[in-house]
């Protein structure tokens, strides 16, 4: 019952071909994610000649600043710091990256607000949008409605105005909140964020006494607000010398 001597050879050849086929068929995120990324870039780099090398014929997961999951089946992070992005983030672009966890667009010229679809992404963990031209009073209010998952919120050095909403206290996973260098006004609401390790609201226009739950942060977390007082800053109502 000797098998034909060719059978093992055929099996080996089949295995090699199958292996090569899986290597060549590069896994890709769904076309909707690819087109969402291209639409974002088209809308925000119209005045910029330098290319990011997002070659439509190359695999999406190989594009500069784009990170996929282990199986290359979905985009999980977009990091494009200081690449000359200019303009507002259009609705229906980054907001279509359903599994996005990390977005960094720091040190660009992103203007206006953050579209609602982006702020509804259920897996968003980190938002690094410092050193841009984001403005208005609604961004923080809408971020506060994100749900529980956000861990890092960095909006330093933008043009945000309005109050810090107390609803931010609903984001119980927050570890880092940096809002320094904006035009925020009003008082700091009392919030219990047990996991918060970094909190910085320096260089705004905040006033009133610092809630007890924030007294554990250093004075320079609050510096540059002329009307803010209380621990760790000097006491309210003048010092009793
Ligand atoms: C994912 O895509 C990158 C970039 O194209 C590639 O280098 C890597 O081998 C791919 N990994 C898988 C598991 O397909
Ligand atoms: C900052 O925002 C205000 C409106 O809130 C706007 O009038 C002003 O031009 C903005 N400044 C910059 C530098 O974008
Ligand atoms: C968030 O907190 C505010 C008050 O701080 C509360 O009114 C609201 O119901 C909470 N939940 C959501 C989803 O905003
Ligand atoms: C807060 O931010 C300012 C810049 O606006 C920086 O100088 C300061 O060191 C920061 N402090 C903390 C505790 O993060």
Answer yes or no: is 14 within a domain: no
167 close to ligand 3 (CB < 6 Angstrom): yes
- Cα(21) to ligand 4 centroid in Å equals 53
Phi, psi of 103 (to 5 degrees): -125, 120
65 in a structural domain = yes
- Residue 239 maps to a domain: no
Per-residue pLDDT in tens (0 to 9) along the chain, 241 residues? 455 556 666 666 666 555 555 555 678 999 999 999 999 998 997 555 566 778 888 899 999 999 999 999 999 999 999 998 999 999 999 999 999 999 999 999 999 999 999 999 999 999 999 999 999 999 999 998 877 799 999 999 999 999 999 999 999 999 999 999 999 999 999 999 999 999 999 999 999 999 999 999 999 999 999 999 999 999 998 654 4
Q: Which residue's CA is the closest to the ligand 2 atom numbered 14?
A: 133
Rounded Cα gap, residues 141 and 180, in angstroms: 17
In-domain check, residue 23:
no
Ligand minimally distant from the alpha carbon of residue 29: 1
Please say whether the beta carbons of 181 and 157 come within 8 A. yes
Nearest CA to ligand 3 atom 1: 167
3 located within any domain: no
Residue 241: per-residue pLDDT: 46
Task: Please tell me the distance from the alpha carbon of residue 103 to that of residue 193, in angstroms, as a whole number.
Answer: 22
Whether residue 232 has a cis bond before it, omega within 30° of 0: yes
CA–CA dist 198, 138 (Å, integer): 23
Residue 71 CB-half CA count within 13 A: 4
Is 106 contained in some domain? yes
Rounded distance from Cα 44 to ligand 3 centre (Å): 33
Q: How far apart are CA 114 and CA 153, in angstroms?
A: 13
The answer to the question of residue 234 being in a domain is: no
Domain range enclosing 189: 29-229
Q: What CATH number did the domain enclosing 137 receive? A: 3.80.10.10
Q: Whose CA is nearest to atom 7 of ligand 1?
A: 62
Ligand 1 centre distance from Cα of residue 169 (Å): 39
Q: What is the pLDDT of residue 240?
A: 47
Give me 198's structure tokens. Answer: 């970094």
Is the CB of residue 185 below 6 angstroms from any atom belonging to ligand 1?
A: no
**Whether residue 169 has its Cβ less than 6 Å from ligand 3:** yes
- Beta carbon of 159 within 6 Å of any ligand 2 atom: yes
Residue 116 CA to residue 59 CA, distance in Å, equals 28
Q: Please give the model's pTM, rounded to 2 decimal places.
A: 0.87
* Residue whose CB lies within 8 A of the most ligand 3 atoms, among 144, 150, 170, for a mutation test: 170
Would the CB of 176 count as within 6 Å of ligand 3? no
Nearest ligand to residue 157 Cα? 4
| CA quadruple 213, 214, 215, 216: dihedral, nearest 10 | 90
Q: Structural domain tally of the chain? A: 1
- Evaluate whether residue 4 is within a structural domain: no
**And the tokens for 66?**
């784009």
Structure tokens at 142: 């809408």
For ligand 1, is residue 107 a contact (CB within 6 Å)? no
């Amino acid at each position: 019952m000797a098998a034909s001597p060719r059978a093992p050879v055929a099996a080996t050849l089949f295995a090699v071909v199958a292996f090569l086929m899986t290597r060549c068929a590069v896994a890709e995120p769904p076309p909707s994610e690819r087109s969402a990324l291209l639409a974002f870039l088209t809308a925000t780099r119209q005045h910029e000649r330098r290319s990011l090398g997002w070659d439509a014929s190359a695999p999406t997961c190989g594009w500069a600043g784009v990170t996929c999951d282990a199986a290359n089946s979905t985009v999980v992070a977009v990091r494009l710091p200081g690449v000359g992005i200019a303009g507002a983030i259009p609705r229906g672009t980054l907001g279509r990256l359903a599994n996005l966890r990390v977005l960094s667009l720091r040190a660009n010229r992103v203007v206006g607000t953050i579209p609602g679809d982006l702020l509804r992404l259920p897996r968003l963990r980190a938002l690094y949008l410092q050193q841009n031209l984001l403005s208005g009073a609604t961004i923080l209010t809408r971020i506060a409605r994100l749900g529980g998952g956000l861990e890092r919120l960095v909006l330093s050095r933008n043009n945000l105005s309005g109050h810090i909403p107390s609803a931010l206290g609903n984001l119980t996973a927050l570890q880092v909140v940096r809002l320094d260098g904006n035009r925020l006004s009003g008082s700091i609401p009392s919030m219990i964020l047990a996991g918060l390790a970094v909190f910085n609201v320096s260089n705004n226009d905040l006033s009133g006494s610092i809630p007890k739950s924030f007294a554990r942060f250093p004075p320079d977390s609050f510096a540059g607000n002329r009307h803010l007082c209380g621990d760790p800053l000097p006491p309210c109502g003048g010092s009793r010398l």
